[in-house]
Amino acid sequence: MDIESLQTARLTLCPMRAEHAPALHAVFGDPEAMRFFGETHTDLAQTERWVAGTLAAPPERCREYVLLEDGEAIGKAGLWDVPELGFFLRRDRWGQGLMREALRALIPHLFATLPLDHIRADVDPRNAASLALLHQLGFVETHRASRTIQIAGEWADSVYLELERSNVGG
């Protein structure tokens, strides 16, 4: 199945490809950018393995898009384990509304192309920016849990949110 690219005012969201690994490593290798996402990659080979694993997953289980700004990969967004949403952005692009722009295009597309009744997100409660963004997009909190993931030796809690298909415009 071919997965098409999406266009927004400032971004192109294209299906992830192996050649995106070096640019994505700028995020995976940044401890501050990875603080709430996962383990920091210490070398490019780790990012290449992550991308290869993502590409090996069937498209009905994993739909990852790379965010391109002027042709340069600056982040990623998508469903990494349907219906679980995951996203990150290079730190020098934070606070510019780029992820909001990307997700406003991507979420309706995912609902239109996959048999989903909802999309779920799992967010560290200290990640105020991601929580605010998801609330702006219509996600609602369903529950919380303690000590759900260990990142860089530190246990983190989770806020679980969902967006129902019926709450998505377009």
Q: What pLDDT score does 111 carry?
A: 95
Q: What is the DSSP letter of 143?
A: E
pLDDT digits (tens, 9 = 90+) for 37-96: 888 999 999 999 999 999 999 988 999 999 999 999 999 999 989 999 999 999 999 999
Which residues fall within 8 angstroms of residue 7, CB to CB, at 6 or more apart?
13, 105
Please tell me the CATH code under which domain 6-167 is placed. Answer: 3.40.630.30
99-102's contacts with Cβ under 8 Å and 24+ in sequence apart are 99/67, 99/75, 99/133, 100/133, 100/136, 100/137, 101/8, 101/9, 101/10, 101/11, 102/8, 102/11, 102/13, 102/65, 102/67, 102/75, 102/77
> Residue 162 in contact with residue 135, Cβ under 8 Å?
no
Place of tokens 């529950």: 143
Amino acid at 59: P
| Alpha-carbon dihedral angle through residues 136, 146, 31, 134, given to the nearest 10 degrees | -10
Residue spans of the domains in the chain: they are 6-167
Q: What pLDDT score does 169 carry?
A: 63
Mean pLDDT of the chain: 93
Is the pLDDT assigned to residue 1 strictly greater than 50? no
**Token digits of residue 67:** 């965010």
Whole-prediction pTM: 0.92
